[in-house]
Amino acid sequence: MDVFLEKHTDPVIACVCPHILCRKLHPQTLASADDHDLYQDALYVIKARHFAFVPPFFSSDPLQCPKFDTVVGYYDRDVDQFRSVLASDAHGGNAVGPSRGPRRPPIDCSLGTHRPRRPEPRPHVPRHGILEINLTVIDEKVTNTTTVVVPGDIFHLALLDREQFQQLAFSTIDPQSLLYYDFARLNWYPLTHQTAIHLAPTTRRVLLRAPSRLKPFPPRFVCDFSDRYDDYCALIASETARAVAFKKAFPEYRYDPTAFEAALELWGETSHDVQVGFKDAGRTDTGLWADLVKDGNRRKLAAAAQRRRSGLKHQIVIEIDDD
Protein backbone atom coordinates (compact mmCIF):
# COMPACT_ATOMS: atom_id res chain seq x y z
CA MET A 1 0.00 0.00 0.00
CA ASP A 2 1.39 3.45 -0.95
CA VAL A 3 0.94 6.49 1.30
CA PHE A 4 1.93 10.08 0.34
CA LEU A 5 2.70 12.70 2.98
CA GLU A 6 1.89 16.32 2.14
CA LYS A 7 4.24 17.68 4.81
CA HIS A 8 7.45 15.80 5.51
CA THR A 9 9.44 18.43 7.41
CA ASP A 10 7.14 18.45 10.46
CA PRO A 11 8.05 15.66 12.94
CA VAL A 12 4.37 15.21 13.82
CA ILE A 13 1.99 14.53 10.94
CA ALA A 14 -1.69 13.51 10.99
CA CYS A 15 -2.34 10.44 8.89
CA VAL A 16 -5.52 8.59 7.99
CA CYS A 17 -5.54 5.21 9.68
CA PRO A 18 -5.42 2.53 6.98
CA HIS A 19 -7.30 0.07 9.19
CA ILE A 20 -10.46 -0.87 7.34
CA LEU A 21 -12.56 -0.68 10.51
CA CYS A 22 -11.18 2.68 11.65
CA ARG A 23 -10.26 5.22 8.89
CA LYS A 24 -9.69 7.93 11.53
CA LEU A 25 -6.92 10.52 11.70
CA HIS A 26 -4.02 9.62 13.99
CA PRO A 27 -0.85 11.62 14.76
CA GLN A 28 2.27 10.22 13.09
CA THR A 29 5.52 10.64 15.01
CA LEU A 30 9.07 10.40 13.75
CA ALA A 31 10.46 7.32 15.45
CA SER A 32 14.03 7.41 14.05
CA ALA A 33 15.91 9.53 11.55
CA ASP A 34 19.40 10.45 10.50
CA ASP A 35 20.51 13.76 12.03
CA HIS A 36 22.15 14.88 8.79
CA ASP A 37 19.23 14.25 6.50
CA LEU A 38 15.61 14.01 7.57
CA TYR A 39 14.68 12.31 4.33
CA GLN A 40 17.23 9.53 4.62
CA ASP A 41 16.49 6.41 6.69
CA ALA A 42 13.54 8.00 8.47
CA LEU A 43 11.02 5.85 10.32
CA TYR A 44 7.51 7.09 11.13
CA VAL A 45 5.03 5.51 13.55
CA ILE A 46 1.30 6.15 13.50
CA LYS A 47 0.43 6.50 17.17
CA ALA A 48 -2.96 4.82 17.10
CA ARG A 49 -4.47 3.58 20.32
CA HIS A 50 -3.52 -0.09 20.06
CA PHE A 51 -1.53 -0.47 16.88
CA ALA A 52 0.84 1.36 14.55
CA PHE A 53 1.87 1.38 10.93
CA VAL A 54 5.61 1.74 10.34
CA PRO A 55 6.61 3.26 7.00
CA PRO A 56 10.29 2.96 6.05
CA PHE A 57 11.14 6.40 4.58
CA PHE A 58 13.31 6.01 1.49
CA SER A 59 12.70 8.94 -0.91
CA SER A 60 15.47 11.64 -0.80
CA ASP A 61 14.29 14.02 -3.51
CA PRO A 62 12.97 17.19 -1.77
CA LEU A 63 11.10 18.22 -4.91
CA GLN A 64 8.90 15.15 -4.78
CA CYS A 65 6.47 14.09 -2.18
CA PRO A 66 8.10 11.27 -0.19
CA LYS A 67 6.75 7.84 -1.01
CA PHE A 68 6.99 4.76 1.17
CA ASP A 69 5.40 1.38 1.83
CA THR A 70 3.77 0.48 5.13
CA VAL A 71 4.46 -2.52 7.34
CA VAL A 72 1.93 -3.52 9.96
CA GLY A 73 3.16 -3.45 13.53
CA TYR A 74 2.20 -2.50 17.07
CA TYR A 75 3.28 0.45 19.12
CA ASP A 76 3.95 -0.28 22.80
CA ARG A 77 3.22 2.82 24.89
CA ASP A 78 4.72 1.42 28.07
CA VAL A 79 8.23 0.99 26.71
CA ASP A 80 7.83 3.45 23.81
CA GLN A 81 9.03 1.06 21.19
CA PHE A 82 7.71 -0.53 18.06
CA ARG A 83 7.08 -4.28 17.85
CA SER A 84 7.12 -5.58 14.33
CA VAL A 85 4.91 -8.37 13.11
CA LEU A 86 7.82 -9.79 11.15
CA ALA A 87 10.74 -11.51 12.84
CA SER A 88 13.87 -12.98 11.27
CA ASP A 89 13.95 -16.72 10.95
CA ALA A 90 16.92 -19.09 10.86
CA HIS A 91 17.33 -18.72 7.09
CA GLY A 92 17.50 -14.92 7.10
CA GLY A 93 13.94 -14.42 5.94
CA ASN A 94 10.96 -13.01 7.78
CA ALA A 95 8.47 -15.11 9.69
CA VAL A 96 5.98 -14.50 12.42
CA GLY A 97 7.82 -14.91 15.70
CA PRO A 98 6.14 -17.13 18.34
CA SER A 99 6.91 -14.71 21.19
CA ARG A 100 6.52 -11.51 19.18
CA GLY A 101 3.33 -12.36 17.37
CA PRO A 102 0.72 -9.67 16.73
CA ARG A 103 -1.65 -8.89 19.55
CA ARG A 104 -5.38 -8.54 18.88
CA PRO A 105 -6.69 -5.79 21.16
CA PRO A 106 -10.10 -4.20 20.52
CA ILE A 107 -10.25 -1.24 18.14
CA ASP A 108 -11.79 2.05 19.30
CA CYS A 109 -13.70 3.06 16.21
CA SER A 110 -16.37 5.65 15.63
CA LEU A 111 -20.01 4.69 15.69
CA GLY A 112 -21.24 3.53 12.33
CA THR A 113 -17.86 2.49 10.94
CA HIS A 114 -18.24 -1.21 11.80
CA ARG A 115 -19.06 -3.76 9.19
CA PRO A 116 -22.55 -5.23 9.50
CA ARG A 117 -22.26 -8.32 11.64
CA ARG A 118 -23.54 -11.68 10.59
CA PRO A 119 -26.85 -12.63 12.17
CA GLU A 120 -26.40 -14.56 15.38
CA PRO A 121 -27.16 -18.28 15.07
CA ARG A 122 -30.53 -19.24 16.34
CA PRO A 123 -30.15 -20.52 19.89
CA HIS A 124 -31.05 -24.13 20.53
CA VAL A 125 -34.45 -24.32 22.14
CA PRO A 126 -34.44 -27.24 24.60
CA ARG A 127 -37.18 -29.75 24.35
CA HIS A 128 -39.64 -29.57 27.21
CA GLY A 129 -42.46 -32.01 27.72
CA ILE A 130 -43.90 -35.02 29.48
CA LEU A 131 -42.21 -38.34 28.81
CA GLU A 132 -43.77 -41.75 29.47
CA ILE A 133 -41.49 -44.39 30.99
CA ASN A 134 -42.40 -48.07 30.55
CA LEU A 135 -40.48 -50.69 32.55
CA THR A 136 -41.15 -54.33 31.71
CA VAL A 137 -40.13 -57.10 34.10
CA ILE A 138 -39.13 -59.79 31.62
CA ASP A 139 -39.65 -62.98 33.61
CA GLU A 140 -42.91 -61.79 35.18
CA LYS A 141 -44.26 -60.24 31.93
CA VAL A 142 -45.44 -57.19 33.86
CA THR A 143 -45.09 -53.60 32.61
CA ASN A 144 -45.14 -50.64 34.99
CA THR A 145 -45.58 -47.06 33.77
CA THR A 146 -44.87 -43.57 35.05
CA THR A 147 -44.49 -40.09 33.57
CA VAL A 148 -41.74 -37.53 34.04
CA VAL A 149 -41.24 -33.93 32.90
CA VAL A 150 -38.06 -33.67 30.82
CA PRO A 151 -36.59 -30.14 30.76
CA GLY A 152 -34.36 -30.82 27.74
CA ASP A 153 -33.67 -33.40 25.06
CA ILE A 154 -31.82 -35.86 27.33
CA PHE A 155 -33.32 -38.39 29.74
CA HIS A 156 -31.43 -40.08 32.56
CA LEU A 157 -32.50 -41.92 35.68
CA ALA A 158 -31.67 -38.96 37.92
CA LEU A 159 -34.82 -37.23 36.62
CA LEU A 160 -36.99 -39.78 38.46
CA ASP A 161 -37.96 -39.17 42.07
CA ARG A 162 -38.74 -41.76 44.74
CA GLU A 163 -42.45 -41.94 43.93
CA GLN A 164 -41.76 -42.55 40.24
CA PHE A 165 -39.28 -45.32 41.08
CA GLN A 166 -41.98 -46.91 43.23
CA GLN A 167 -44.49 -46.68 40.38
CA LEU A 168 -42.04 -48.53 38.17
CA ALA A 169 -41.47 -51.15 40.92
CA PHE A 170 -37.77 -50.50 40.45
CA SER A 171 -36.85 -52.35 43.63
CA THR A 172 -38.10 -55.65 42.16
CA ILE A 173 -35.72 -55.71 39.19
CA ASP A 174 -32.04 -56.44 38.79
CA PRO A 175 -30.56 -52.95 38.08
CA GLN A 176 -27.37 -54.40 36.59
CA SER A 177 -29.43 -55.96 33.79
CA LEU A 178 -31.52 -52.86 33.01
CA LEU A 179 -31.80 -52.09 29.27
CA TYR A 180 -33.33 -49.27 27.22
CA TYR A 181 -34.51 -49.35 23.61
CA ASP A 182 -32.79 -47.05 21.11
CA PHE A 183 -35.33 -46.18 18.41
CA ALA A 184 -32.61 -44.80 16.13
CA ARG A 185 -30.43 -47.94 16.19
CA LEU A 186 -33.35 -50.34 16.75
CA ASN A 187 -31.64 -52.25 19.54
CA TRP A 188 -31.46 -52.62 23.33
CA TYR A 189 -28.55 -51.11 25.27
CA PRO A 190 -27.51 -51.12 28.97
CA LEU A 191 -28.84 -48.29 31.11
CA THR A 192 -27.02 -47.07 34.22
CA HIS A 193 -27.24 -43.91 36.32
CA GLN A 194 -24.52 -42.37 34.12
CA THR A 195 -26.25 -43.16 30.80
CA ALA A 196 -27.86 -40.27 28.91
CA ILE A 197 -30.63 -41.11 26.43
CA HIS A 198 -30.81 -38.52 23.65
CA LEU A 199 -34.42 -37.86 22.70
CA ALA A 200 -35.68 -36.96 19.26
CA PRO A 201 -38.17 -34.07 19.01
CA THR A 202 -40.98 -36.58 18.42
CA THR A 203 -40.03 -38.98 21.23
CA ARG A 204 -42.79 -39.31 23.80
CA ARG A 205 -41.96 -42.68 25.36
CA VAL A 206 -38.93 -44.55 26.71
CA LEU A 207 -38.96 -48.35 26.84
CA LEU A 208 -37.04 -50.13 29.60
CA ARG A 209 -36.79 -53.79 30.46
CA ALA A 210 -35.01 -55.90 33.05
CA PRO A 211 -35.33 -59.27 34.77
CA SER A 212 -36.61 -59.39 38.30
CA ARG A 213 -34.15 -59.18 41.13
CA LEU A 214 -33.06 -62.71 42.13
CA LYS A 215 -33.84 -63.54 45.73
CA PRO A 216 -31.79 -65.88 47.92
CA PHE A 217 -33.18 -69.39 48.31
CA PRO A 218 -35.14 -70.68 50.18
CA PRO A 219 -38.25 -68.46 50.16
CA ARG A 220 -39.34 -66.65 53.28
CA PHE A 221 -42.72 -68.42 53.40
CA VAL A 222 -43.38 -72.14 53.06
CA CYS A 223 -46.31 -71.57 50.70
CA ASP A 224 -43.96 -70.00 48.10
CA PHE A 225 -41.97 -73.24 48.09
CA SER A 226 -44.84 -75.70 48.23
CA ASP A 227 -46.78 -74.01 45.40
CA ARG A 228 -43.89 -74.61 42.96
CA TYR A 229 -42.51 -77.84 44.35
CA ASP A 230 -44.93 -79.89 42.27
CA ASP A 231 -43.79 -78.06 39.10
CA TYR A 232 -40.19 -78.90 39.94
CA CYS A 233 -41.02 -82.58 40.46
CA ALA A 234 -42.81 -82.68 37.09
CA LEU A 235 -39.76 -81.21 35.34
CA ILE A 236 -37.43 -83.69 37.05
CA ALA A 237 -39.69 -86.55 35.98
CA SER A 238 -39.24 -85.44 32.36
CA GLU A 239 -35.46 -85.85 32.74
CA THR A 240 -34.77 -82.11 32.97
CA ALA A 241 -31.48 -81.14 34.60
CA ARG A 242 -31.83 -80.02 38.21
CA ALA A 243 -30.48 -76.51 37.61
CA VAL A 244 -32.75 -75.98 34.61
CA ALA A 245 -35.75 -77.33 36.48
CA PHE A 246 -35.00 -75.01 39.40
CA LYS A 247 -34.80 -71.90 37.20
CA LYS A 248 -38.09 -72.78 35.55
CA ALA A 249 -39.90 -73.63 38.78
CA PHE A 250 -38.33 -70.83 40.89
CA PRO A 251 -37.40 -68.11 38.34
CA GLU A 252 -37.16 -65.27 40.88
CA TYR A 253 -34.69 -67.10 43.15
CA ARG A 254 -30.94 -67.54 42.84
CA TYR A 255 -29.89 -71.15 42.37
CA ASP A 256 -27.81 -72.39 45.29
CA PRO A 257 -27.27 -76.16 44.99
CA THR A 258 -26.45 -76.62 48.69
CA ALA A 259 -29.42 -74.62 49.96
CA PHE A 260 -31.78 -76.27 47.47
CA GLU A 261 -30.63 -79.77 48.42
CA ALA A 262 -31.16 -78.98 52.12
CA ALA A 263 -34.66 -77.67 51.37
CA LEU A 264 -35.60 -80.81 49.43
CA GLU A 265 -34.32 -83.00 52.26
CA LEU A 266 -36.23 -81.02 54.90
CA TRP A 267 -39.45 -81.07 52.89
CA GLY A 268 -39.15 -84.81 52.31
CA GLU A 269 -38.67 -85.50 56.04
CA THR A 270 -41.64 -83.34 57.05
CA SER A 271 -44.91 -85.15 57.61
CA HIS A 272 -47.88 -84.40 55.38
CA ASP A 273 -49.89 -82.87 58.22
CA VAL A 274 -47.09 -80.44 59.08
CA GLN A 275 -46.67 -79.51 55.41
CA VAL A 276 -50.36 -78.72 55.07
CA GLY A 277 -50.32 -76.66 58.27
CA PHE A 278 -47.47 -74.44 57.09
CA LYS A 279 -48.89 -74.18 53.58
CA ASP A 280 -52.33 -73.11 54.80
CA ALA A 281 -50.76 -70.44 57.02
CA GLY A 282 -49.80 -68.51 53.87
CA ARG A 283 -47.60 -65.41 54.11
CA THR A 284 -48.03 -64.96 57.85
CA ASP A 285 -45.79 -65.28 60.89
CA THR A 286 -46.96 -68.87 61.37
CA GLY A 287 -46.00 -69.88 57.83
CA LEU A 288 -42.33 -68.90 57.86
CA TRP A 289 -39.75 -71.21 56.35
CA ALA A 290 -37.48 -70.51 59.32
CA ASP A 291 -40.11 -72.07 61.63
CA LEU A 292 -40.24 -75.14 59.39
CA VAL A 293 -36.46 -75.46 59.75
CA LYS A 294 -36.78 -75.19 63.54
CA ASP A 295 -39.50 -77.82 63.53
CA GLY A 296 -37.30 -80.10 61.46
CA ASN A 297 -34.37 -79.63 63.85
CA ARG A 298 -36.59 -80.48 66.82
CA ARG A 299 -37.75 -83.63 65.10
CA LYS A 300 -34.15 -84.58 64.33
CA LEU A 301 -33.13 -84.03 67.95
CA ALA A 302 -36.11 -86.01 69.16
CA ALA A 303 -35.29 -88.86 66.78
CA ALA A 304 -31.66 -88.85 67.89
CA ALA A 305 -32.69 -88.96 71.56
CA GLN A 306 -35.07 -91.81 70.81
CA ARG A 307 -32.29 -93.76 69.13
CA ARG A 308 -30.00 -93.22 72.10
CA ARG A 309 -32.67 -94.43 74.53
CA SER A 310 -33.31 -97.47 72.37
CA GLY A 311 -29.60 -98.22 72.30
CA LEU A 312 -29.26 -97.94 76.08
CA LYS A 313 -32.29 -100.17 76.62
CA HIS A 314 -30.87 -102.77 74.26
CA GLN A 315 -27.53 -102.61 76.08
CA ILE A 316 -29.21 -103.14 79.48
CA VAL A 317 -31.12 -106.15 78.19
CA ILE A 318 -27.92 -107.71 76.90
CA GLU A 319 -26.17 -107.21 80.24
CA ILE A 320 -29.08 -108.84 82.14
CA ASP A 321 -28.99 -111.83 79.80
CA ASP A 322 -25.27 -112.23 80.39
CA ASP A 323 -25.83 -112.44 84.14
**pLDDT the model gives residue 89:** 44
Asked whether the beta carbons of 219 and 225 are under 8 A apart, the reply is: yes
CATH code, residues 129-210: 2.40.240
Q: What is the pLDDT of residue 19?
A: 60
CA-closest candidate to residue 30, choices 2, 49, 57, 6: 57
pLDDT at residue number 60: 45
Q: What pLDDT is recorded for position 25?
A: 73
| Residues in contact with 215: Cβ distance below 8 Å, sequence separation at least 6, in sequence order | 252, 253, 254
Residues of the chain with pLDDT under 50: 1-12, 32-43, 50-60, 66-102
What's the pLDDT at 47?
53
Q: Quick one: pLDDT at residue 30?
A: 52
Parts of the chain belonging to CATH 2.40.240: 129-210
pLDDT score for 147? 92
Asked if residues 217 and 254 have their Cβ atoms less than 8 Å apart, the reply is: yes
Residues 144 and 135: their CA atoms lie apart, in Å, by 5
